[in-house]
Amino acid sequence: MLRLATVGTSNITDKFLSACRLTGRYELHTCYSRTLETGKEFARTQGFKFFSNDLTEVAQNPQIDAVYIATPNIFHYEQSKLFLQNGKHVICEKPITTNQKEYDELLSLANKNNVIYIEAIISHHSKGRKILLENLKEIGIISQVRIDFCQLSSRYERFKKGEHVNIFDMSLAAGTLMDLGVYCVYAAVDLFGVPNNISAYAVFAENGADLSGGAIFEYKNFPAMLSYSKIGGSAIGSEIIGDLGVIKIGSVSQFADISLVKNGKEQLLLGTPDRAEVMRGEAEKFADYIENFDTFSNDYKATCELTHNVQTQMDLIKQTAKIKY
């Protein structure tokens, strides 16, 4: 059993812990919160043995093997670095860092200390990814790809009224690209590789937050058009279009709700599983990398290379679309 600590007490941490329980491979050891009251309550409801408001104390605890970090984006680098320096395995919520340079630095630190360092990106470790890769050959020669994650934020009305909303606070390295667009970039790079060229744009709020945006990834024989927004939802989803058929993807963040359209017929390949079940994939793979590294070393290296490539493309989008933190 891996003795797990968590940093952050938000809804996403709750969902990740539900996924951890499904694996049966984690012991909930310590949860960290900035306030003891919140930490105590989170520990009680989740079943942690201990709670703390001292991050360094948690990082230096020899009884802890690994940590899950789910805090505002701007803290991911420094918090991950603290745990990696203290020999802890780290799985950090997306985006794992705010840029490629930070990621490469921390991966080097993890390798030096013989610990695992991965991004909690559910699509890459989901059942849907394997289904997509297996069915790409069914649609023949690809001519167009549309990857979409446009989802109206439940907090957008509050933001428009002048309230402070973390997800639109660029001092926290937030914004739509970092929150939703990252899934689109992951999908493109994971399924089709690094593009030959990109163009990108963004729509900004007065405070500088990118509210929506998009990018075109140019591949040898087709373009991949990425769109993402927190100020409006899409009813279409994503499509991979070939000369023999089409693959439809309802959820690009989970690689779920997948259908194959061919010869005038639509076949459901995967529905939409429970969120905890979808997140189980990343929790399982994190444990595999730690406990069975010799078996999964090549997979781990490929995952790290993918994350590096995604970070590189994210940096190019930010530079091209003039997104600043």
For the stretch 72-104, pLDDT in tens is: 999 999 999 999 999 999 999 999 999 999 999
Provide the pLDDT for residue 297.
97
**Backbone dihedral angles phi then psi of residue 232, each to the nearest 5 degrees:** -175, 145
189-203 pLDDT, tens digit per residue, is 999 999 999 999 999
3-state secondary structure (DSSP) of residue 87 = coil
CA dist 121 → 75, 95, 115, 202, 235 (Å): 17, 8, 19, 23, 23
Task: Kindly report the CATH number that applies to the domain delimited by 124-277+311-321.
Answer: 3.30.360.10
pLDDT score for 186: 98
Q: For residue 285, how far is the Cα from the chain centroid?
A: 14
Confidence of residue 274 (pLDDT cuts 50, 70, 90): confident
Helical pair 100-112 and 293-321, crossing angle rounded to 10 deg: 160
CATH architecture of structural domain 2-120: 3-Layer(aba) Sandwich (3.40)
Q: How far is CA 29 from CA 15, 60, 166, in A?
A: 17, 13, 28
2-120 against 124-277+311-321: fold identical: no
Q: What percent of the chain has pLDDT over 70?
A: 100
Give domain limits for the chain: 2-120, 124-277+311-321
Residue 181: DSSP 8-state: I
**Buried-exposed string 48-57: b where 16+ CB fall within 10 A, e elsewhere:** bebbbeebee
